[in-house]
Amino acid sequence: MSVRSVASSSVASAVAGRLAGGAVLSAMAAALPPYRRADLSVDARVADLLGRMTLAEKLDQLHQSGVGDANPHNLAARADELRPTYGAFIVGGPATLFALREALQRRAVEGTRLGIPALFAADVIHGYRTIAPLPLAQACAWDPALVRAGARLAAAEARAQGIDWTFAPMVDHCVDPRWGRIAETFGEAPHAASVFAVAAVEGFQGDAPGAPGSVAACLKHYAGYGASEGGRDYTYTEIAGPTLWRDHLPPFAAGVRAGACTVMSAFNDLNGVPTSAHHFLLTEVLRAQWGFGGVVVSDWNAVLQLVRQGHAADEADAAARALLAGVDLDMADGLYRAHGAALVASGRVPLAAVDAAVARMLRLKFELGLFEQPYAGRTPLTGAAPTPEALAQVEEMAARAMVLLQNDGVLPLAPTVRRIALLGPLAEHRAALLGSWAQQGRPEETETIAEALRARLPAGTTLEAVAGCSVAGDEIGGIAAAVAAARVADAVVLCLGEEPWMSGENASRSSLRLPGRQEELALAVAVAGRPTVVVLVTGRPVEIQMLVPRVGAVLAAWQGGTRAGAAVADLLLGRRAPEGRLAVTWPRATGQVPIHHQLRPRARAGREGAYQDLEDSPLFEFGHGLGYTTFAHGELRLAQPTVRAGETLAAELAVTNTGARAGVETIFWFVRDPAASLTQPGRRLRHFERAVLAPGETRVFRWEISPERDLAFPDADGRPVLEPGEIVLLAGGRSASFQVQP
């Protein structure tokens, strides 16, 4: 640390620490430039520092650079690419991250004129070193506390490596599983995505986003990216106003209310205007309506892409459009740096617009405490392997996220099952369990389903593993051996699914069918006629309508993370019961997409308007999931038959565990507005609650309906509309109607 920075930081910390000898302190503090004084307001510090910056320093502050595999001991080799005056870097790759981050920060703090610390971000989506289930899987556990705790764990591990900022939670709304990034969503229900967005922001940021164990959160991808046409990535979206306000914007609004520090603008063009140049979204809604004061970062090269999208005439035009729309930090393409000075000189971009963006970057850094503590303190987690506590936590998450879709009684595997044929290309696959965005998760540390089962089998029970075919491609040499193993088994566990790169970013698929020759394997094994359980390791719902009638049970294991194997084994062996419920509708066929629980009624009933070659219903409904017990649902009771704005209406539903095992029941509360000025979804989820019920126990689930909160719907401009008339309440397979009175 250079003499100047030692003096300034020691005095700053002394002032901040309020050590004895006030007179000395005040003299020392007075010697510091205001922006270095922690006793002054953030506003004052921002104003002072901004006033000291040159335009070149301001434009560097609005640039975020990747660092790739930069060598922390030879940054000079990448001097211009990794300038110490850049506002932020994206890190996360190499295990040398901590050293690299400290080296880059030291140059920024001690090697530049103003010593402005940089921000270090990574895509910590579902875990950092210990990998949790995908967000889509976490949503299937229907427990905000689980999501919050998972984000907290990820933040602690990421912060320990020097990451200040994560590009999560992703809160896009998607009803098209062809889009690979459905894996990163919290499912298709906007209300659920809003609840989980808040839980994730709270988990990542904790009580203070700059505190040890916390990272700044980033709501992404704002907005509408999940409606990419045809499920193809990086394409445009056509979203009508009521749908935008009802389905796509609420999770972002909820995340902003929860105090998310940053928002990421998206790749998609929304109704003709790319979202990274969308002044209405980025400034009129996000800042003016919602009061968001944080930083907007573009997605990777999203500013440059404005040219290819047919919106900007050239790179300078792209930079101007993004900055004027409200994108503060330009990720990766460097267009703000390259063209900012000329744009200001020409008057196309007022200096005030640059200053406003820089001020938001500086404010974030002051609020994160980076000026006082620019360096990451080593903790026991720095560079460490997953702790036993972290592994136990993600194992619990995985077991609760998995969804038993079908079960003819073959599960849990009976003690009489003494010979198991464990088949399929996912039975001994490690990386697939971690899924996309697996950060520092290590496949070599990830127990396979086979290993987990073997470690738990009762004495005398044997397991023969045969892959049968590859995940993708045409390798089918093992099918005969798989069938042979099936024929002599008491039970077959058939593990099918996707490679980790088949979902996530740039992983759109034209078909949801199982990749490669897995269907052939499955059909051949089914012919053996043995009790068969299919375990699906996927990042999305996949097409299994040909499988379902031929097997006994289907378990959606998703990509469950570092301890997914153990979770699968415990569920199959009955050491714990499945409790997940689908947070996304499961189509019968690719051609049925989009199909979801918010479909609005067709003009005609019955088969009129349905695909004439397919059942009209999905294979498995939103909210579907089985356990190892059964529940009986009483009548849906309403406290009164009418409600007005300003009042609440109490609803109750009694549920009894009628089985022999404890089990988790999740009650979803939907509303249907059968006659509205804007036609409404067949069902809108407005509340959910899960509870563990002992055998024979009856639990009364209660919900207070607030007409303004739960029954109003947005018009094309997002204005809430509450109309008198009938509302149908649906929960637990029951329904009851009431009237909203004027």
Binding site for ligand GLC (CB under 6 A): 90, 123, 167, 220, 299-300, 505
**In angstroms, what is the minimal distance from the CB of 352 to ligand GLC?**
29
Q: Which amino acid does the sequence have at 647?
A: E
Q: 233 vs 710, which CB is nearer to ligand GLC?
A: 233
Question: Is residue 264 classed as helix, strand or coil in its secondary structure?
Answer: strand
**In angstroms, what is the minimal distance from the CB of 147 to ligand GLC?**
18
Q: Would you list the DSSP string of 570-617?
A: HHHTTSS------SS-B-SSGGG-S--TTPPPPSS-TTTTS-TTS-SS
CB within 8 A of 470, min separation 6: which ones?
Answer: 425, 516, 517
Distance CA 180, CA 193 (A): 18
**In angstroms, what is the minimal distance from the CB of 263 to ligand GLC?**
12
**In angstroms, what is the minimal distance from the CB of 202 to ligand GLC?**
20
Question: Is residue 280 classed as helix, strand or coil in its secondary structure?
Answer: helix
- Active-site option among 172, 176, 247, 299: 299
Can you read off the two tokens belonging to residue 189? Answer: 């229900």
What phi and psi, each to the nearest 5 degrees, are found at residue 146?
-65, -45
**In angstroms, what is the minimal distance from the CB of 93 to ligand GLC?**
10
Instruction: Put residue 692 in one of left, alpha, beta given phi > 0 → left and psi -120 to 50 → alpha.
Output: beta
Both ends of the chain: CA-CA distance in Å?
A: 69
Q: 300 vs 701, which CB is nearer to ligand GLC?
A: 300
**In angstroms, what is the minimal distance from the CB of 739 to ligand GLC?**
45
Q: 143 vs 233, which CB is nearer to ligand GLC?
A: 233
Between the alpha carbon of residue 248 and those of residues 223, 255, 475, 708, the distances in Å are: 7, 12, 41, 19
**In angstroms, what is the minimal distance from the CB of 437 to ligand GLC?**
8
**In angstroms, what is the minimal distance from the CB of 333 to ligand GLC?**
12
C-beta of residue 532 within 8 angstroms of C-beta of residue 551: yes
Distance CA 667, CA 641 (A): 21
C-beta of residue 713 within 8 angstroms of C-beta of residue 246: yes
Can you read off the two tokens belonging to residue 439? Answer: 């950060």
Residue with tokens 């088969």: 607
CB within 8 A of 700, min separation 6: which ones?
Answer: 652, 653, 654, 655
**In angstroms, what is the minimal distance from the CB of 105 to ligand GLC?**
20
Q: 57 vs 172, which CB is nearer to ligand GLC?
A: 172
Q: Which amino acid does the sequence have at 153?
A: L
CB within 8 A of 405, min separation 6: which ones?
Answer: 554, 555, 556, 582, 586, 620, 624, 625, 626
C-beta of residue 461 within 8 angstroms of C-beta of residue 500: no
Residue 145: other Cβ atoms inside 10 A: 10
C-beta of residue 543 within 8 angstroms of C-beta of residue 513: yes
Distance CA 89, CA 67 (A): 7
In which element (H, E) is residue 657 found? strand 649-657
Strand partners, 166: 122
Which residue's C-beta sits nearest to ligand GLC?
A: 167
Distance CA 506, CA 301 (A): 14
Q: 135 vs 468, which CB is nearer to ligand GLC?
A: 135
**In angstroms, what is the minimal distance from the CB of 1 to ligand GLC?**
31
Distance CA 565, CA 570 (A): 9
**In angstroms, what is the minimal distance from the CB of 300 to ligand GLC?**
4
**In angstroms, what is the minimal distance from the CB of 319 to ligand GLC?**
18
C-beta of residue 129 within 8 angstroms of C-beta of residue 62: no
Residue with tokens 């998609």: 268
Question: Is residue 644 classed as helix, strand or coil in its secondary structure?
Answer: strand
C-beta of residue 656 within 8 angstroms of C-beta of residue 577: no
C-beta of residue 194 within 8 angstroms of C-beta of residue 254: yes
- Identify which of 172, 264, 163 has the alpha carbon closest to the alpha carbon of residue 216: 163
Q: 176 vs 299, which CB is nearer to ligand GLC?
A: 299
- 299 catalytic? Reply is yes
In which element (H, E) is residue 422 found? strand 419-423
Q: 505 vs 579, which CB is nearer to ligand GLC?
A: 505
Can you read off the two tokens belonging to residue 323? Answer: 């900055």
Instruction: Put residue 512 in one of left, alpha, beta given phi > 0 → left and psi -120 to 50 → alpha.
Output: alpha
- Identify which of 35, 32, 58, 38 has the alpha carbon closest to the alpha carbon of residue 47: 35
Residue with tokens 């996220």: 401
Question: Is residue 388 classed as helix, strand or coil in its secondary structure?
Answer: helix
C-beta of residue 711 within 8 angstroms of C-beta of residue 740: yes
What phi and psi, each to the nearest 5 degrees, are found at residue 307?
-70, -50
Can you read off the two tokens belonging to residue 363? Answer: 């404010």
**In angstroms, what is the minimal distance from the CB of 341 to ligand GLC?**
26
Question: Is residue 706 classed as helix, strand or coil in its secondary structure?
Answer: coil
Task: Give me the active site residues, please.
Answer: 299
